[in-house]
Amino acid sequence: MAMSSDPQKATQGDPVRSGEAKLKKRIVVVGGGSAGFLAAITLKARMPVLDVSVIHSSDIPIIGVGEGSTLTMPVYLHGYLGIDPARFHREVKPTYKLGINFLWGPRDRFFYTFSAQLDKFLRGMPRPNGFYAFEDFEYADLSSALAAHGKGFVKHPDTGAPVVNTDLAYHLENVPFVRFLETYAAEIGVKIVDDKILEVRQDEKGVSGLLLESGEVADGHLYIDCSGFASLLLGDALGEPLESYQSSLFCDKAVIGGWAREEEPLLPYTTAETMNAGWAWQIEHDELINRGYVYGSSFLSDNDAEEEFRRKNPKVEDTRIIGFSSGARKRTWVKNVVALGNSAGFVEPLEATGLAVICDHAAKLIHCLADSYLEIDHVSRDFYNRYCNKTWQDIRRFLALHYKFNNRLETAFWKACQEDTDLTGAEDIVEYYRVSGPSILWGRSAMGPDDPFTWEGYLVMMVGQKVPFERSFDLSAEEIEAWRRYRSQLNAEAKAGLAMKEGLEMIRSANWTWHQDFYTNASRW
């Protein structure tokens, strides 16, 4: 399932605004990508008393890849930050995402969606859905049925309009997304400084100032490091080490490219496709199809990766190769520096967790600042670090599960994944499933508290990959018929749905009206 927010984040009233303190604190954000501008907007929108500035260099290009999100992204942007969804759809032109189409494991495909497929009982049924879906996982919920038919939305029975709900995520083109965030940040009072950092000055409190190429010195009470893989403040200046996840996640490079959309249908999902030494994504935009091949360089050369990628995608135009290290810093808040985004940690883009982590950790930071009336104590900082580290560890073990059980191809890479992947904390989950199958009785206990993917997510990946289990069960004729009727109803409703392109045209039109509280009521921060 999608990464979800901790319900404990919900607060009485609005302590973020009640925490506006005596002194006007200066917050300096380093880096102007999606992490930097999301951090700045969060700080300024939720605590307007703060003096927030972003230092970035326009000489450093935006990466410019397609980005998938989880369902938390629209809710965060429009419910928590208050960004007008109508304007966002006009200017950024996101497409909607029902989930992920996995070409993974022994099935032809299966869909990982943002609503419950397996972790529930149908009325009158003695077993949870996972047992019935094990042999045939098509149409296990309405979102997967829509995706299977290439439909983006249920059609409203009276108006014919698309039915939009908060179980939908976004596909975003990175360049217009970041440009929008920069514009919006400036509009709400964030100071944008286009300059280069020549020196990071330090004292006993951490960073004491940033010497800029212009000769100016930027100083703040708190520094937010959003400088990407360079981790200019937390990693480079303060020396906080990166904990490698290489024993769980073997991929360390990606070849990326795309092509202009021609007659291809605008699909309502991200595709994750098994490749010889990793996997390939496909992200859908209005005028562009974005593709990338994430691979392990110890199993495949760059030239061979490029060749395999182009064989699979003959329309692809220019490509480039990006290297990365999967891992995270144990502490993301050290002294007066907080890292967000790739400067704090990075795991490969499987499951599209990057933007969700930025939003979640930025929201947690603003609540820490409000709770302490902007005077942070070491206890708050320590608990924040524990929280963020747990997020990274939870993502690591969930992604490890994707690799451990994918037997679609018998290549050297995938054999190594099956034999050597470190499940790093998912052992109890796998053991419970291997004995009990897709039971839901003790799933949450095996998983542990507050896992962002929920038991549903683990079930989808294990049932989806047909991981075998010991528990025997016989389905009665009545159960089989009831499951068939349920899937048939979903199939019929999905067939009558709207295509993504058709639905987006209505949503982006001047006639479309967003209910004022549509996203606000769904916000869990």
Domains assigned to the chain: 7-95+170-247+328-396 (3.50.50.60), 100-139+249-325+398-475 (3.50.50.60)
User: What is the rounded distance in angstroms from the CA atom of residue 326 to the CA atom of residue 314?
Assistant: 29
Q: Give the number of C-alpha atoms closer than 13 A to the C-alpha of residue 246, restricted to the C-beta side.
A: 10
The amino acid present at 248, given as its one-letter code, is S
- Regions of the chain where pLDDT drops below 50: 1-13, 18-22
Provide the pairing of β-strand 270-275 with 99-103: parallel
Label the pairing between strands 278-284 and 288-295: antiparallel
Judging by DSSP bridges, how do beta strands 320-323 and 217-218 pair with one another? unpaired
Write down how long the chain is. Answer: 525
The Cα–Cα gap between 285 and 287 comes to: 6
- State the pTM of this model: 0.93
Strand order in the sheet with 151-155: 162-163, 151-155, 498-499
Please check whether residue 148 is in contact with residue 102, taking contact to mean a CB–CB distance below 8 angstroms: no
CA 198 to CA 213: how far, in whole Å?
6
| Each residue's pLDDT tens digit, 110-123 | 999 999 999 999 99
